[in-house]
Structure 1
C-alpha cells in the first residue's frame, strides 16, 4: 500500500484540532493510499496537547504520531520535525485550523497517480473553487510574493503561499530547509524548483479563511520576511 504522510503543525489550536482530525480521519484516499498522521505541537499553551492526547487515546486504530516542541519555534520548525518523521511515499501539509478541506487531498493526488507530478501545489486562485472573502491587501501581497518567487524560481505558480503542498517524500527530505517561521513557503518553493527534473503541478482548491479574531497568525512582518527569503534563497543559494 502506498502511504500519504499528513503533517499537521499546531500552535494553540485547541478549538479546532479535534475537528480537523475528524476530517482527516474521514477522508478516503484514492489510488489505494493509506494515511500516516504526524502532529507537531509547537509548544501550545492553550490545552492543544491535552486535546490531542485524548483524541489519540479515543482512536487507537488511527496511525497518529505526536511530537511536541519544548519551546515555541515557529511553523517552519514544526514542518521540519514533521518532514523528518514522515515515512510515507508522499507528504502533504495540513494546517490545524479549518481553512483547508482534507477531502481535497485527492485533488492533489490525481496528477501523482497519473504519473505526471512529483510535487503538487493547491492554489486558492484557480479552478473556480469556493473561497471565503476576506482581506484585500492579503490577496495583493500573496500574489506579489508569488510573482517575485516565480521570477527567481522560473515558475508560473499562482499561489506560492498555499498551505496545501504535496511532495514526494524522498525529494523534500533531501532539501536542506532552514526557515523556522512562515519563510518556509518561499524557501521550499525555490529549493524545490532547483531539483533536477522535478515535475511541479498546480491544482485548484477551496479556501475557508479565518480572521485574526478567529486565530489567524500570519502578519505583515511575515510578508517582509518572505521577501527577504526570496532574495536570500533566490540570489545567494
Structure 2
C-alpha cells in the first residue's frame, strides 16, 4: 500500500464570495478513503467582492477544518494562485479544486484509487470518459477542448482525453519539483507538458462528473485563453521550455 496520509487541496479564489461556502461545506463533509487527512489551502487572488472576509468568517466558524488562507496583494491570475498554494502544500499528494461548483470533491476518491494500488504518480480526472453526469453546455467549448487535448497529446505523446480538466492529483514532490510559469489559464497545458517529461512518471486518467457553469453563473475562461493554451502547448511541449 502506498503511503498516503494527507491530501493537500489547493483552491484558487477570485470573486467567489457568493459560492465559496458551498465548496467548503462539501470539503468539510468529505470522507476520504483510508482515513486520509485533508489540508485545505485557499489562495485569494486579490478578490474585490469580500471573498477573503467570507473565508475568514467560515474558518472561524469551523476551526477544526484548519483552513489555510493565503492572500495576494495584487491580482495575478489563477495560475499564480496555484503556484502559491502548491508551494505551501505539505501533504503526500496535491489536488487542484476550483472555488466554483463545477466539480464534485466526493470524486477525489476515484483519483486516489490508482495511487493507493501503487499504479499512479499523477491522476487526471476526465470529464469525457466513463458514465458520470456531465452538464450539456457549450458546443464550441467542447470542440476547443477536444482539439487542445489532441494537440497537447501530439507533443507530449500522452493519450489523455481531457488535458484541460481541473482535477489533477500529483505526488507532492513531483508537482513541487516543476518550474511553473503560467499565471493565468495556461497552467493546464504547461503542467501537463512538464509532468509528461518527468522521468518514469506514471500518469493515469479516471472518469469524473462535470457540473459546468454558464458565464452568467460566473464562468471566467474565454476564447483568448484558448489561444494562450495553444501557445503554451507549443512553448512547453514542442519546444520543451
Assess same fold via TM > 0.5.
yes
**Aligned position for 2:32:** 29
Query: Of 207, 210, 221, which aligns to 1:207?
Result: 210
**Aligned position for 1:89:** 92
**Aligned position for 2:230:** 227
1:18 aligns with 2:12: no
CA distance in 2, matches of 1:61, 1:32: 16
**Aligned position for 2:152:** 149
SS, match of residue 31 in structure 1: helix
CA distance in 2, matches of 1:70, 1:47: 14
Query: Of 178, 192, 196, which aligns to 2:195?
Result: 192
Q: CA deviation at 1:128?
A: 1.0
CA distance in 1, matches of 2:156, 2:174: 17
**Aligned position for 2:138:** 135
Q: TM-score, normalised by structure 2?
A: 0.97
Q: CA deviation at 1:235?
A: 2.2
- CA RMSD in angstroms, aligned pairs only: 0.7
Note the alpha carbon deviations across 1:156-213, whole angstroms, 9 max, x for none: 0000000000000000000000000000000000000000000000000000000000
**Aligned position for 1:182:** 185
Q: TM-score, normalised by structure 1?
A: 0.99
Note the alpha carbon deviations across 1:28-80, whole angstroms, 9 max, x for none: 00023100000001000011111100001001111211001011111000000
CA distance in 1, matches of 2:66, 2:198: 31
Q: Deviation above 3 Å: which 4+ runs of structure 1? A: none
SS, match of residue 11 in structure 2: strand
